[in-house]
Structure 1
Amino acid sequence: MDDKIIVYRTFYNPIEANIVKAKLDDAEIPCFLTDENIATIQPLYNLAIGGVKLNVFEKDVEQINAILQDAPELEVPEIETEQTENKVVCQNCGSTNVGFGIATKNKHSWWVALLSILMTVYPFKANRCYHCYKCGHEFN
């Protein structure tokens, strides 16, 4: 018997594609994913390749629709990033919207700049500090 393989659905999140594939595998419906590896290794290519494709036999489409119709929509939960304790507060405005990273104002110290000029290389060490995203104040 000559069954036709079709692309049932396209996903832009490889994790979501694997969850749906696992549901179909549990129901013993043969299926496979294409372009999963490139979408996982190089996420920027995901739109160019058209996402991760779920391939199934055309004869199984009605059964798949019934299985996935009962399943709730997949939602990726948000990760709690804020910590309630040990928050850094801006010394200038009192905001807690503060991050630690490379300084924007005094990025390199004088000795790094001098060595970089003498060696004709890009500065190899940058100063790090807290940066307030509300007022722009930088502090240690």
Structure 2
Amino acid sequence: MSDKIIVYRTFYNPIEANIIKAKLEDADIACFLTDENIATIQPLFNQAVGGVKLNVFEKDVLTIDKLLVDNELEIAEEDQAENADIITCEKCGSTNVSYGLATKNKYSWWVTILSILMTVYPFKANKCYHCYKCGHEFN
């Protein structure tokens, strides 16, 4: 193999790219990031430039693969322990769910009445879980 520099992986999250870069540098593997400044200073341009690119020597690819696979297995085990209490949608079973302001029944009846009487914008909104796959909202 030659000393050719290649793009090993592309990241759309500069923090993740720096974490992987730090792991490689700890293992004494030469690497550098390109387009990192664009991704951190102007995040909207990140996709246009193709993300943050991790550049390595072609001769180090097999070593990097082995190193990162070992680390990813450890991370996957930690994620399984953390994800034991994941909220799933009652309707479709999706895990693409988050907690936040309601979109359908945003205000309760008493907030609406008080807002009309005081001629102000409603001051308290309901919160619930929202499924991004089917749009179902639940508590």
TM-score range, shorter chain: 0.5 to 0.7
TM-score, with length taken from structure 1? 0.55
Contact 2:108 2:125 in 1 (8 A): no
Q: Corresponding residue for 1:36? A: 36
Correspondence 1:92 to 2:109? yes
Aligned to 2:6: 6
How many Å separate the matches in 1 of 2:127 and 2:110? 10
Equivalent position amino acid for 1:49 in 2: V
Q: What is the CA RMSD across the aligned residues, in angstroms?
A: 3.9
Q: 1:130 aligns with which of 105, 124, 130?
A: 124
The letter for the 1-side match of 2:44 is: L
CA positional deviation for 1:132: 4.6
What runs of 5+ residues in structure 2 fail to find an aligned partner? 83-97, 101-105, 129-139
- Count of aligned residue pairs for this structure pair: 98
State the SS of the aligned residue for 2:72: coil
Give identity over the alignment, percent: 58
Within 5 Å, which residues of 2 pair with 1:1-140? 3-72=3-72, 90-92=107-109, 129-132=123-126
Structure 1: gaps spanning 5 or more residues: 83-88, 95-104, 110-126, 135-140
| Residues 40 and 57 of structure 1, relative CA distance in 2, 3 Å threshold | same
